[in-house]
Amino acid sequence: MSTQTIGFLIGGLVPALMFGVGNIAMKESTSLGIALPTYLIIVGTAVIATGVLATIFISPKFPTLAQSGTAIFAY
């Protein structure tokens, strides 16, 4: 896949889909009687938990930036 295609997916398609899923979840939660502050606390906790798990399991596998100007990434 080209870098332009990956950029389109990461910067355009994925956020649009997540925005739609988030709106569907909010509409369903309000129809079930869950208050908006409670919904935001639940979503915020899920985002934090996902970030912590991603940092633990995925972060060491990503390449790091090299300190020299000759290499883009150091593995």
pLDDT tens for 34-64 read 888 898 899 899 999 988 888 888 766 666 6
The predicted structure's pLDDT at residue 31: 93
The predicted structure's pLDDT at residue 72: 56
How far apart (Å, rounded) are the C-alpha atoms in residues 11 and 38? Answer: 29
| CB 65, CB 73: distance < 8 Å | yes
How far apart (Å, rounded) are the C-alpha atoms in residues 52 and 59? Answer: 10
**Position 67 confidence tier, pLDDT thresholds 50, 70, 90:** low
pLDDT at residue 75 greater than cutoff 80:
no
The predicted structure's pLDDT at residue 45: 94
pLDDT at residue 30 greater than cutoff 80:
yes
